[in-house]
Structure 1
Amino acid sequence: MTEPAAPTAAPEVLSGVRVLDCSIAMAGPFAAQRLGDLGADVIKVEPITGEWQRHAAAGGATGNRINVSFLSLNRNKRSIAVDLKSDEGRSILYDLVATSDVFLQNYRPGVAGRLGVDYETLRAINPGLVYVSMSGYGEDGPYRNRPGQDLLLQAMSGAMLSAGSHGTPPQPAGQYLVDAVTASTAFEGVLAALFHRERTGQGQLVTVNMLDAITTLQMQELSVFTVGQVAQTRGQQPHAHVYIRAPYGAFATSDGFLALAMPELPLLGKVIGEDSFLSMDTEVDSWTHRDEIYERTAARLVERATAEWLEAFDAVGIWAGPVYDYQDLVDDPQIVHNGTFIEYDHPTEGRIRTPGFPYGMSVTPPRIDRGAPLAGEHTREILTELGVAPERIEQLVDGGVVAAEPAAAEATPDTMPAAGVAPAGQGGPA
C-alpha cells in the first residue's frame, strides 16, 4: 500500500523576492513588513547604532532590547547594520542590491544621492530593481524639505475639518493615519511593479508621498467638494462627518457611548421617543436641521444604557454600535473569531500579541517566521550569503564598517512559530 505523501508547507506568494528595507519610522517599515509577511526575504539595512525607531518608543512602551513600536513594524525581517557613509559599507550594499528585487527608502530629499544609493546608481547595478522612494510631500516641489510627520499631513489634508463642530479644534485621527495609508500605498506599488517586471523583466522607480496618499484616500469627500461644489461646513454640534446626513456620530448614553449612523428620522423618532422627528423628511431635514437633530438625539440617548439602545436599534434595523476602547476591541468575539491578533515568541521580548496580516489568501497565506530583529542580528549571516569569508567579516566588525550581534544571540528557527502561527483567537490569521 502506497504511503500518503507527506504534507508540504504552504507556498509563499513572494517567496524568492528579496527586499532591502532602508526605511525608518513607520510608513516604510510597515510596507516592508507586509512584504515579509507574504514570504519575501526582507533585509533591514540599519546604521551601526540601529534604526531611529529603535530609540523612539511610541507611548513610552519599552521592551527588554526592542521597544514595542519597533517590534510592531519589523517582524519577518533580518537585520544588517552597516555604515553606508564608508566605501566598504557602500560596497556591501551594492553587493546586496545586485541580488535583490526591491529597494525601499524614505530618506530626506538629497540623502540617497549623497549616500550613493539613488535610483540611477542602483539601477546601473541591477536594471531589474524595483526602487521605492517614499517622501512626505514629493520628490521635488516647494514642500520637498518639509518634515513628513503624520499629524502635520493630517492637518494639511483637510480631513480634520470634516468632523467635529464649528469653533472647536480640528479633529485628528486617533491613529497614525497618514503613515498607515502611505505604507499601504507603497505596498501596493511594490506589488504592481513586481507584476510588471514579471511580464517584462523591467524594473522601475516607484515614488510614494504622504500628501498624495492621504489626499487620494479622500476620493469621495474631495469629489463632493470639487465636483458637487458642496462646501466643507461644520455645524454647532460635533457631527462626525460634514458630508454625511444627521444624526451621525458618537453619543453619550447613561453608562457610556454609542455610535449612530444615518437612521431614517421618523423611525429613529419612534425608537427614542422624539416626536419632532416623525414628520421630518430624512433626505431634506437631516441636512438643514443637522444641529437640532443632534441636540434632540443626544438628549434622548443619555436617558438609557448603551446595551438597551443597541438592542432597540438592532430590532428595527437602525445602524448603531458600541464605542470601544482597545481592551474592548481585543476582547470582541468577532475579533477573536477572525484571529485578527496573532501570538508568537520573540527571543528577547517574550510572548508577543499583535495585529496580524489584513487579508487572507487561500493558496499563499502570509506567515510569521521571525519577530523584529536586533540591530545587526543577521549581519554575519547576510555577509556569509554574499560570499564574504569569516575572517573578513570579523575585520569589518572590528573596523566599525558593520555591527553584528554575538553569534549566540542570533534567533534560531525553532524559537519562532512555523507558517501556522498561533492566533490569539480560534479563527487563525486572516
Structure 2
Amino acid sequence: MSGRKPPLDDVRIVELGVGLATPFAARLLGDLGAEVLKVETPEGDPTRSTAPYYRADDGDERSALFEYLNYNKWGVALDPGTDRGVLDDLLSTADVLLIGDDIAQSATWGIDVGELHTAHPDLVIETLTPFGTTGPKAHWKATDLVLQAASGLLSFSGTAERTPLKRGLRQSTYQAGLTAAYAAEAAVVAARQHGGTVIDISMAECITSELVMTVPEYTFLGAVSARRPGVVDPLSGDPLPAGDGYVSAQVNSLTPISVFADFIGDRRLAEPQYETSEGRATRAAAVGEIFRSALEKEQPREFFERASARGLLAGFVQRADQLLDCPHLEAREVFRTMPGTLDGRPWRMPATTVSLSHTGASVRRDAPLLGEHTEDFVSRPKAGAL
C-alpha cells in the first residue's frame, strides 16, 4: 500500500438497513473507506439475533453473520417516532442513503422518497426491495428461493428430470448488495457534478442480470434455455471423482480428448467412442470410472496444479476447510481473523473484497454495538472527523 487515502474517504453513507442486501452494500462501501453510519431503531437490526454466534472478547455472544455484514461501520440508534429531525440532520451531511431490504423500512422511518429528494437534492437515495418500490409486486415479501424463481434463473437451473435446483445459501441478497454498492459509487461521482438522484433497485431484477446466455440465445437464435439433460458430457466441466474429492476437466478444439488421456495416463480415454461430446455423454459412467481409477491416489489440488502447469482447462472442488487453507486465497489475503472465538476456536471469514493498486480495501473496525456511536454523531454531524 502507498499510504494514500482510500477511494471513498470523503464519502458518508447513511444506512437504514435490515436483512442482508442493504447492510452488505453499505459494508462494501465502508471497505473502500466510506464513513458508514448504520442507523437502527432501539430494537436493532434483527440480524443481530441470527445464528451462528461467536463469543466476543468481553464474553458476550454475538451474531457472526451480523459481524460479517456490518464491520467498518459506526452504530447509531434513533427512535423513528421522536428522532426524525436527528435523522434529517444526518442526511444533510450524507452523500448516500441506503434503505432496505423491504419497502416497510421507508414507512418505519416515515420517509417519502420523492419528498426526501426535494429536501436533499444533492443526496443519492437508493432503495433495495424484492421487486422495486413501484408496480403490482412492490409490497410482496420474498425469500431467496422466491427471488431466484422470479428472476427466471430457475428455468434452466438443475437437470431436466428433476425439479428446479436453487443455488446455495442466499446469493440473491448478496448479488443485490453488490449491485447497490457499485450503483452508489457511480451515483456519487455524478451527484458531485449534477446533483443527487434516486435509485430503485429490484433484487429480483439483479438476479435476472445473470441470464447472460439465456437472453442472447433467445434474441438471436429463438432458442429457449432449459434445464440440462440428465446425462451430459463429463468432460464439459462436471465433477469427476479423484482421490478424496472431485475435479473437473474440459476438452475443446485446442485440447482434444487424447491430451487428457496422455495426461492422466490412461489411453482408454483416447478410444474412438469418447472422441465426441455425444459419445462421452452416452458413456458418462465409463468416463467417470476411467478418471476415478487413474486419479484414486491423487488429491484434487495436485491434479489441478499439474493440469494448470500443462495449460489444460481443469479445476477442482474445494471443501470449506480447504478454502480456509487455499494458497491462492491466502496470497490474496482474502481471509481475516475475526474478533473473539467461534465454538471455542479462532475463526476467519472472507473480508478482502477487492485489491486496488494504490489503496485496496481494509477492515478498520469491528461491527458496532447497538447505538455505540450515537452521541458522537448526534453531537458531531460533520463527516470525516472521527
**Which of the five TM-score ranges fits, normalised by the shorter chain?**
0.7 to 0.9
Q: Shift of residue 135 of structure 1?
A: 1.0
1:295 corresponds to 2:285 = yes
| SS of corresponding position for 2:160 | coil
Match of 1:375 among 359, 370, 385: 370
* Larger RCO (CA under 8 A, 6+ residues apart): 2
Match of 1:247 in 2: 236
1:35 corresponds to 2:35 = no
Q: Shift of residue 33 of structure 1?
A: 0.4
Amino acid at match of 1:41: E
Unmatched 5+ stretches in structure 2: none
Percent identical pairs in the alignment equals 25
| SS of corresponding position for 2:39 | strand
Q: Shift of residue 120 of structure 1?
A: 2.0
| SS of corresponding position for 1:219 | coil
Match of 1:51 in 2: 45
Match of 1:72 in 2: 68
Q: Shift of residue 110 of structure 1?
A: 5.5
Instruction: Evaluate the alpha carbon distance shift between residue 366 and residue 269 of structure 1 in structure 2; reply closer, same or farther with a 3 A threshold.
Output: closer
Q: Shift of residue 319 of structure 1?
A: 1.8
TM-score (norm 2): 0.84
Match of 1:333 in 2: 327
Match of 1:126 among 112, 116, 120: 120
Unmatched 5+ stretches in structure 1: 1-6, 241-245, 388-412, 414-430
- Distance in 2 separating the partners of 1:278 and 1:61: 56
Amino acid at match of 1:385: R
Amino acid at match of 1:294: A
| Residue range with higher mean Cα deviation, 43-52 or 121-130 | 121-130
Match of 1:223 among 197, 216, 220: 216
Amino acid at match of 2:69: L
Superposed CA deviations along residues 240-264 of structure 1, whole A, max 9, x for unmatched, are 9xxxxx5321122353211223453
Match of 2:165 in 1: 171
Match of 1:256 in 2: 245
Match of 2:144 in 1: 150
Decide whether the 8 Å contact of 1:182 with 1:213 is kept in 2.
Answer: yes
Match of 1:207 among 184, 200, 203: 200
Amino acid at match of 2:68: S
Decide whether the 8 Å contact of 1:53 with 1:70 is kept in 2.
Answer: yes
Superposed CA deviations along residues 308-331 of structure 1, whole A, max 9, x for unmatched, are 754774565432222111110110
TM-score (norm 1): 0.76
Q: Shift of residue 210 of structure 1?
A: 1.2
Superposed CA deviations along residues 120-158 of structure 1, whole A, max 9, x for unmatched, are 232233210000011112222232222232222223334
Amino acid at match of 1:379: T
Decide whether the 8 Å contact of 1:151 with 1:172 is kept in 2.
Answer: yes
Decide whether the 8 Å contact of 1:346 with 1:370 is kept in 2.
Answer: no
Instruction: Evaluate the alpha carbon distance shift between residue 16 and residue 310 of structure 1 in structure 2; reply closer, same or farther with a 3 A threshold.
Output: closer
- Distance in 1 separating the partners of 2:127 and 2:8: 20
- Distance in 1 separating the partners of 2:119 and 2:350: 37
- Distance in 1 separating the partners of 2:26 and 2:283: 46
- Distance in 2 separating the partners of 1:366 and 1:247: 36
Match of 1:357 in 2: 352
Compute the RMSD of aligned alpha carbons.
3.1
- Distance in 2 separating the partners of 1:276 and 1:336: 38
Match of 1:384 in 2: 379
Decide whether the 8 Å contact of 1:266 with 1:280 is kept in 2.
Answer: no
Decide whether the 8 Å contact of 2:147 with 2:172 is kept in 1.
Answer: yes
Superposed CA deviations along residues 185-217 of structure 1, whole A, max 9, x for unmatched, are 1011101101111222x0000111111111112
Q: Shift of residue 117 of structure 1?
A: 1.7
Decide whether the 8 Å contact of 1:268 with 1:277 is kept in 2.
Answer: no
| SS of corresponding position for 2:103 | coil
- Distance in 2 separating the partners of 1:296 and 1:381: 67
